[in-house]
Structures are given as structure tokens and as C-alpha cells.
């Protein structure tokens, strides 16, 4: 990344609404709380925000122009995407490119979700997601009864278990760790610790995924203010630098809920070590993977954590089910993952709740969840996009 602070992007402010189920506030009202919080956190005024990278509630959400009108913003740059966890990096990367190339001074990355108001997008006979693109992008197949986004993750995990001998009990380490982290987070929706026995006795959703392997359905909003490092240094809080980026992968060999080479959807079979082009973020940033003190990922379903760890080479193909055992991904372990509880236990805010946690960690303000010596954290997903953050 460029040494010139005017050409390096940073998160200068972060704001959150409350997270919960069945919240009475609209998406716009939730976004308002988070936006005001981000402005206060950065110690800046709304007049300084002249860009939007917006990521709001599926096809039923609020558009960028309504957001700008509602909050009396004078916007010169806009990026808008459908609400999916896969667009977290896209939204942040677009904001970073905009501010470092002079298209905007300060870009508000905005997401607001009212999943419990819009359950029709989450499965069932009125499922918009499951019906689009000949069955949806998560592997849904409504003619065969697979109308849940869990379908693709479940099929991928079945295949992974057959190839590598992993078990449901191995997979339990992921939701157990996420719940342990959430138990330390007063803002998390699900805070009661769970055990392996709790996981194994939970009802099956789509074999082999049990209830505790599936993310929460919640409402909430997060706003991150992105500007140049140069400007961020003049604001209230310690900047969190965007130190490296790589984009989303797509094509016949890619399936959103499976690692390459697993043989799901249109993939060919044949897995190997992490590809050099998927490790480009470390080379381009000059930051080795060994410098990463914590890993954050889109944990809508437990297997996605395993697959993401393998994608970025933290362990080899088929090794993640063993890698996550023994508290390795818990606070105090070698590689803490999703330390606020993630989508599995804190809330489903499209993954943005983990971006907020990254900011807290790198500022040293995560309290009892603080990772000692946290100076480099990574966001990375099974579909290959990633961002490295530094303090």
C-alpha cells in the first residue's frame, strides 16, 4: 500500500444500532442511529460526508437517494449493492478507492437489516432469493424442497465430510467458540454459552447442519466512515488503516458456500494447497499471514469458517475441521475468529458487526474480548475477497 497517507484509506468512525429480533424501527431508522453514532465516534459532522457505499436490506431496502434525502447529505459519489455478506469487502473497497482517488472526502458505508420484517426473502413459498437465477445463489433448489440458504452450505459440508472424515461433532467447535465470544459481548443477541452436547442435540435443519450451525435472523445497522489516513488522523478516534485488499472470485470453479475443487455446483473435483492468487493480499500488502492476530469471516453457517480458513492457507485442504479444535479459534487461542460472536451468535448484520469488532480490536477498546497485541486483523470469506486492517 502507498506510504503517502493521502493515498491510504482508513476507517475513521464506526456506529451501530441495537441488534435484536422483531425490532420496531424501520431500516432507515436503524441506519439513522448507526450513522449518528459513526459521526460522533469520528468527531465529525454530516456535512463532511460526501459519499455513500450503501448495502441495505435486499430488494426491499432503502436506496442511496432516499438515505441522502433523509439525512440532508450532499453526495458526489455512490456505490450501491444488494445486501449480501459477500458485498462487505466490495462496499469497503469501493469507499477506499473513492477517497484515495479524490472522488469523495468521506464515504459512509451503510448497512441496515430488518430480516425479521422480511422473512419472505429467507425461504418458503414466497422466497425471492430461492427463486431468482434459476434456484438462487446459495444452492437453493425449490423443486426439491431446498428453499433455505443453508442448502448449499449443507451440501458442501456433506461432501467435505465424505472426503476428509470430518464429523458433525468436529463442526461444533465453530458455534461453541462463537457463542463463547458472544457471552462476553453485552450487545450480542445470543449470550448463553453452549456445549458440544447442546450442539449435537439441536434439531437438524439441512443435514448435516443443525440449528446451532445456522446464523441468527435479526435486525440492526452498522455504519463505517471511510476517509484518507491523512484526514482520519485529524479526527477524534485512532484510525484503522485499510492495509491490503483483494477482490471477490467468481466463475464455474467458484461456489459461494464451498471451497474450490470440492465438486459442488459446476466445480471440478480436485483440491490442493491455497492458490497463489488467493494469497495475493499478503504479497501486495507486504504483510505476511503470520502477522494476522485474528481472523473475521462471514459465518452464516458453521462450515463457512472451515472453508475460509483453508482458502487463505491457515491450514491445508481438509485440515480445518481439526484446526479449529482445542480452543484454537477462541479468545486466547492461536487464531481467534469473530470475537464479538459473529452471525452465529452476535447478530446477522451482513457481516458488518465483525467489521465494527475489528475497529474495536485495533483501537484496543474491545474490553474483555481484547486480543493481546492485536495490530493486524483480516476479513476474508470463502468466496475469496479479503481486507487486511492495521492500527
CB 325 within 8 A of CB 306: no
Determine the Cα–Cα distance for residues 288 and 278; give it in Å rounded to an integer: 13
* Local structure of residue 262 (DSSP, 8 states): B
CATH architecture of 5-118+217-237: 3-Layer(aba) Sandwich (3.40)
pLDDT of residue 147: 73
For residue 191, give every residue at least 6 positions away whose Cβ sits within 8 Å of its Cβ, in sequence order, or none.
179, 182, 183, 185, 345
Residues of the chain short of pLDDT 70, as ranges, are: 1-3, 56-61, 117-137
Percent of the chain with pLDDT over 70: 92
**Residue spans per domain, the chain:** 5-118+217-237, 149-215+241-391
pLDDT of residue 284: 93
CA distances from 352 to 83, 157, 256, 296, 299 (A): 11, 25, 18, 10, 12
First-to-last C-alpha distance (Å) of the chain: 14
What are the pLDDT digits (tens) for 278-324? 999 999 999 999 999 999 999 999 999 999 999 999 999 999 999 99
- What's the chain's average pLDDT? 91
pLDDT of residue 159: 97
pLDDT of residue 2: 54
What are the pLDDT digits (tens) for 54-87? 976 555 567 899 999 999 999 999 999 877 777 8
Determine the Cα–Cα distance for residues 388 and 377; give it in Å rounded to an integer: 6
Identical topology for domains 5-118+217-237 and 149-215+241-391? yes
pLDDT of residue 120: 46
pLDDT of residue 125: 52
Write down the H helix ranges in the chain.
Answer: 27-42, 64-70, 88-100, 128-131, 150-164, 168-171, 173-182, 196-201, 229-232, 280-285, 302-311, 320-323, 352-363
Q: Which CATH superfamily is domain 149-215+241-391 in?
A: Thiolase/Chalcone synthase (3.40.47.10)
Amino acid at each position: 500500500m502507498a506510504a503517502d497517507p493521502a493515498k491510504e484509506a482508513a476507517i475513521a468512525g464506526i456506529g451501530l444500532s441495537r441488534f435484536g429480533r422483531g425490532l420496531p424501527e424501520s431500516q432507515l431508522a436503524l441506519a439513522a442511529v448507526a450513522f449518528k453514532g459513526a459521526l460522533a465516534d469520528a468527531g465529525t459532522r454530516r456535512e463532511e460526508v460526501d459519499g455513500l457505499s450503501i448495502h441495505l436490506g435486499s430488494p426491499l431496502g432503502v436506496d442511496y437517494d432516499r438515505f441522502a434525502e433523509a439525512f440532508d447529505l450532499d453526495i458526489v459519489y455512490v456505490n450501491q449493492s444488494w445486501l449480501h455478506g459477500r458485498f462487505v469487502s466490495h462496499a469497503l473497497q469501493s469507499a477506499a478507492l473513492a477517497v484515495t482517488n479524490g472522488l469523495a472526502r468521506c464515504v459512509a458505508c451503510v448497512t441496515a437489516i430488518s430480516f425479521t420484517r422480511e422473512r419472505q426473502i429467507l425461504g418458503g413459498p414466497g422466497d425471492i432469493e430461492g427463486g431468482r437465477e434459476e434456484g438462487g445463489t446459495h444452492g437453493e433448489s425449490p423443486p426439491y424442497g431446498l428453499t433455505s440458504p443453508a442448502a448449499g452450505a449443507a451440501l458442501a459440508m456433506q461432501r467435505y465430510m465424505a472426503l476428509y472424515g470430518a464429523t458433525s461433532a468436529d463442526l461444533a467447535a465453530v458455534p461453541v467458540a462463537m457463542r463463547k465470544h458472544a457471552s462476553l459481548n453485552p450487545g450480542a443477541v445470543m449470550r448463553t454459552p453452549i456445549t458440544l452436547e447442546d450442539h449435537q442435540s439441536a434439531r437438524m435443519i439441512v443435514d448435516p447442519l443443525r440449528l446451532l450451525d445456522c446464523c441468527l435472523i435479526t435486525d440492526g445497522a452498522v455504519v463505517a466512515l471511510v476517509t484518507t489516513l491523512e484526514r482520519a488522523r485529524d479526527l477524534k478516534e485512532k484510525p484503522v488503516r485499510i492495509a491490503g485488499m483483494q477482490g471477490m472470485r467468481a466463475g464455474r470453479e467458484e461456489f459461494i458456500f464451498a471451497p474450490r475443487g470440492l465438486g459442488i455446483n459446476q466445480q471440478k473435483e480436485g483440491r490442493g494447497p491455497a492458490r497463489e492468487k488467493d494469497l495475493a493480499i499478503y504479497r501486495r500488502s507486504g504483510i505476511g499471514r503470520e502477522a494476522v492476530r485474528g481472523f473475521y469471516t462471514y459465518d452464516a453457517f458453521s462450515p463457512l469458517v472451515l472453508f475460509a480458513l483453508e482458502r487463505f492457507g491457515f491450514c491445508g485442504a481438509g485440515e480445518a475441521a481439526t484446526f479449529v479444535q482445542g480452543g484454537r479459534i477462541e479468545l486466547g487461542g492461536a487464531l481467534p475468529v469473530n470475537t464479538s460472536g459473529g452471525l452465529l451468535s452476535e447478530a446477522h448484520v451482513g457481516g458488518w458487526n465483525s467489521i465494527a469488532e475489528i475497529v474495536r480490536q485495533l483501537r484496543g477498546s474491545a474490553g474483555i474480548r481484547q486480543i493481546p497485541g492485536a495490530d493486524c486483523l483480516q476479513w476474508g470469506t470463502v468466496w475469496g475477497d479479503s481486507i487486511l486492517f492495521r492500527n
